[in-house]
Structure 1
Amino acid sequence: MDSIKAGSVQYDRWNEDDINMNVETSQSAVMRLYVRICAGSHGTAVKTAGSLAALVSIYIIGYVTGYYIHRCS
């Protein structure tokens, strides 16, 4: 059995699958835009604004539809 010095760690068994941990430094413009808009506090604000816009548009469509259906002739 090999003697292991105190404080030394064997990393050979961690890299058995030859996993490449290098991350591409350049991202596409679409990915940069996605990360900027959909993540963090900007993402929360965009999702909130989108939800509010969807609710308002559904309300307006329902109001206009109800107006034309129920108007007196």
Structure 2
Amino acid sequence: MQPQERAIQYSRWKDDSQDEVNMVDMSDNEGASLCQRVYQKLCTGKLGIAVKVVGGVALFWVIFILGYVTGYYVHKCK
């Protein structure tokens, strides 16, 4: 069983007489936008670590290939 994630939202009105405190259940994704749900799924936890590692390796290879091709054309014998 996973612990429930909660957030506290605190807002104070202009006059100091009224304060409002709300407890929001973060595990309920009904109110979350699509971007927030995708972020929570792909960028947190073990899956988030795996996505970041795969993204880093892919970025490395893209930069390596671009550098190789650029170096080939820059240093090509005439």
Deviation at 1:19, TM superposition (A): 1.4
Aligned to 2:21: 19
Aligned equivalents of 2:52 and 2:33: distance in 1? 22
Aligned equivalents of 2:33 and 2:39: distance in 1? 10
Aligned equivalents of 2:24 and 2:57: distance in 1? 40
Unaligned runs of 5+ in 1: 1-16
Provide the aligned length of Structure 1 versus Structure 2. 58
Identity of aligned residues (%): 44
Deviation at 1:29, TM superposition (A): 2.8
Larger-Rg structure: 1
Q: Which has the higher contact order (CA 8 A, sep 6+)?
A: 2
Aligned to 1:68: 73
- What do the CA deviations read for 1:4-31 (whole angstroms, capped 9, x no partner)? xxxxxxxxxxxxx441113373133322
SS where residue 65 of structure 1 aligns?
helix
Please report the RMSD computed on the Cα atoms of aligned residues, expressed in angstroms. 1.9
Aligned to 1:59: 64
Determine if the alignment matches structure 1 residue 34 to structure 2 residue 39: yes
